[in-house]
Amino acid sequence: MSEPAIKLEDWAQGIPMRAGPVSLGLYQPSPETMEYWRGIDRRELMLRHCDHCNRFFHPKRIVCSDCGASDLTWKPASGTGKVYSFSEIHRAPSEAFAAGAPYINGIVRLTEGVHLFTRFIPDPGPVKIDAPARLDFRVLESKWMLPVFLVG
């Protein structure tokens, strides 16, 4: 299994992003999501949580959209959810991804009520709306270790 491309401690250095010949500048894994990536390193999906409102949020949230609190905590997701939407991608964005095409990307609705973009793997399948999904971790074509969901 290859190493994740992100060096968490070097976020300020940035990773060059390219699309074919076009430079898109530097991508910087950001300090506010560091705990999410650390969670992935130990195979946990970490979510943001407002302890005042008892509400879960997307791992990228900085403030609670209900009470405005900025002291959101991190809590691990249970790892279960349902398929909310999906698309099977035949025309991939790059050669690396084309090697894995077709593949299914979509939005999972976690039991905690948070929606995340993810890769759906039919196991046993099929991938369809409201099908049960369970958390796993895979190194995808991007060489990133990512939270994926097994469906069926």
Partner 1 sequence: MASRLGYSAAIVGIGRCMTKREDAEKLTALQLGSISSANAIKNAGIKRGQIGAFFTGRCPTSYRTLQYNQTLLNELKIAPVFNTEVTAHGAGALGTLELGVLAVNSGLVDYALCVTNEASGVWLKDKVGQNAAGESNPQFEAPFGPTTPSLYAQVACRYMHEYGATSEMLAKVAVENRNWALTHPYAAMRNRGKITIDDVLNSRMIASPLHLLDCAVNYPGGISTAFIVTRAELAKNHENPTWIAGFGQQTTHEWISERMGAYDLDVIGHEPNLTNTGCATAAKQAYEMSGLKPKDIDIVQTSAPFSFVHLMMLEELGFCKKGEGGAFVMDGNIDFDGGMAFNTMGGYLSFGQMAQGLYNLHETVDQIWGRAEGRQVPDADIGLVHGHGGILASHSVMIVSRERAQ
- Binding residues vs partner 1 (CB under 8 A): 17, 19-22, 24, 27, 29-30, 33, 57-61, 65, 84-94, 97, 100, 102-103, 105-107, 109, 114-119, 129, 140-142, 144, 146
134 three-state secondary structure: strand
Of the pair 1, 24, the CB lying nearest partner 1 is at: 24
Residues 42, 32: contact at Cβ < 8 Å?
no
Question: Closest approach of Cβ 111 to partner 1, in Å?
Answer: 15
Of the pair 5, 78, the CB lying nearest partner 1 is at: 5
78 three-state secondary structure: coil
| 10: Cβ contacts below 8 Å, ≥ 6 apart | none
Is residue 31 reached through a cis peptide bond, with omega within 30 degrees of 0 on the bond before it? Answer: no
Of the pair 79, 107, the CB lying nearest partner 1 is at: 107
**Would you give the DSSP letter of residue 3?**
P
Question: Closest approach of Cβ 94 to partner 1, in Å?
Answer: 5
Question: Closest approach of Cβ 129 to partner 1, in Å?
Answer: 5
Of the pair 80, 105, the CB lying nearest partner 1 is at: 105
| 72: Cβ contacts below 8 Å, ≥ 6 apart | 48, 49, 50, 57, 61, 62, 63, 64
Question: Closest approach of Cβ 13 to partner 1, in Å?
Answer: 15
